[in-house]
Structures are given as C-alpha cells and as structure tokens.
Structure 1
C-alpha cells in the first residue's frame, strides 16, 4: 500500500538494498516505479556504506528519477523481518 501512495510514474524511485528478496523489486515494478539499487558490503557483515547510498541517489537524480523512498531491511539478511520505508524529499 505504501508503494501505491509513493509511486506516481516510472520517474519515482525507491532505494532498495542489494542483495534483496525479489518481492521488493517486483513490487516496485508492479506499481510502475523505478528500482534504485544500493549495494550492501558483504565484507563488513552486509553493512550500508553511506558513500554508496549517496552515489546511487545522485545517479538516479541524473537520470531524472525522483527518489521517494529508502527501503531498510533489518536484519541484514535480504529477507529480513522488519521493513522500513523512509520517505525522501
């Protein structure tokens, strides 16, 4: 339901961690949005690198994609039990 509210067109993106459970990318595609992947670092226990997140955000913006959400999956397991959508403005 949250994705339905956030995605207005293919120019609306959601930052989503890679690796991830394919349901997230499929849901974004189903609602007509764009997946903006950010890559987790396996060597540091699947930690998020802020520079990686910034890089992917800037790349999306350069393609005209408005990033409207950041998906955080906890624990670092791609199928985690807690999913958080943070809204990006």
Structure 2
C-alpha cells in the first residue's frame, strides 16, 4: 500500500494507531514520488499507450482506479505535455 501524508510525523502517528487500535505491527519506507493524479481518457487506445509507456509510475487506488505517481512536479508537467489526451485529476470522488 502507498500512504501519502504531509510530514513524516503522520506516518509515526499512523503506525502507533495501527498498533494501539488494531494490534497490527506495521513498518513504512519512503518512496520517490512527489505527487499523484488519477488519470482517465475517453480514447481506450491512447490510455493503453499511456499505461504501457508509464507502467513504472502507475498504481491502482483502493477502489481500483488508475493513478499516476510522479517523482516531481516537473515530471508531472512533462508527462501532461507528452500525453495531452490523458486527463490528470487532482481529486476523485469515492463511492
């Protein structure tokens, strides 16, 4: 799983709560992603091409929706330029 937070302390709080409330021992390690965006495209072929070329930066959220994990804001901007038909969403409504 990937958990995003603002500040390292949030991860410590999460680990402590998992232990105290659910008796779960958990560990965490850093990843080199600066931001994430949910992605969509009305053209299936273009989406498949994007998925093929960016597979190392893709993940599914808890509901199975595709997201792009960018190592930097520059990388996100460049990817958006290279794939103009892909829509990059900052937020997504959960059902």
How does the TM-score come out when normalised to structure 1?
A: 0.33
Q: Which has the higher helix share?
A: 2
